[in-house]
Structure 1
Amino acid sequence: MSTEPADATGVTPRSECLALGQVIARIGDKWTVMVVGHLSGGPMRFNAIMRAIPGISHRMLTLTLRGLQRDGMVSRTVFPTIPPGVEYELTPLGRSLTGPLSLLAGWAGANRADIEAAQRDYDLDLAAVAPSRDGSRPAPG
């Protein structure tokens, strides 16, 4: 039994944090971002999504689409053809995610060079203080 105080709805801060973490994990996943981005243009068949996203495996696309479906962000429509045709489409909830993801992508694009420069500087600083193979450290400069 939790010793955390609950708010008026009976939710504890810890359970709220865990729930929020699960949502962030779903929408922050790189494959989710790419799938939502491609589906923002309209319904797509599985193989079309697969071709549109370089590097995604069949299994990872399946897992991503199932997760998005489970979370109510993607709908799956099966057409009675032979073989059955299946289309995936963003739901209204999924479409509501495209704005924030677009802003995030814009921020990432605008700041990419600064982030890469900071990473290079960090790596150079780290290399300067890393022990050499004989265990000695370079003299402070």
Structure 2
Amino acid sequence: MSAHTSPADLYRNSLRLLLDKNIPAWVGLWAEDGIMEFPFAPQGWPERLEGKEAIAAYMRDYPDHIDLHDFPDLRIHQTTDPETVVVEMRGVGRLVETGSPFDMTYIAVVTVQDGLITTYRDYWNPLVVLESGTDFTGSAR
């Protein structure tokens, strides 16, 4: 991705990398000082990850826990800030440990600078995963 890649195209590429389970390439889309926030994180879960290394550590084992199959219902909304998009989508697949279906609705606010993600606020519903008895990383709770 180049510095001229639109935030919407960069985001679409990030989803392809997640479906391909290519976490190193997904992390490569981030600025060194990128920030990932989870405003609805339940107690004991990370609310804010600061820096590319922290984001990489958080996402490293994601494919071992959640096997994503698709992101249906993807809607990317442009904002008055050309570097920021608001994304609505579902992530569907299965939980690796149990084989149970995974179906999560997301809203994300993503800002891109110089072709890299600088901030990503992920408004996911932790109740869906808590009710399944599995945390976001797939570990039994």
**TM beyond 0.5:** no
| Structure number having the greater strand percentage | 2
| Structure number having the greater helix percentage | 1
Normalising by structure 2, report the TM-score: 0.27
Normalising by structure 1, report the TM-score: 0.27
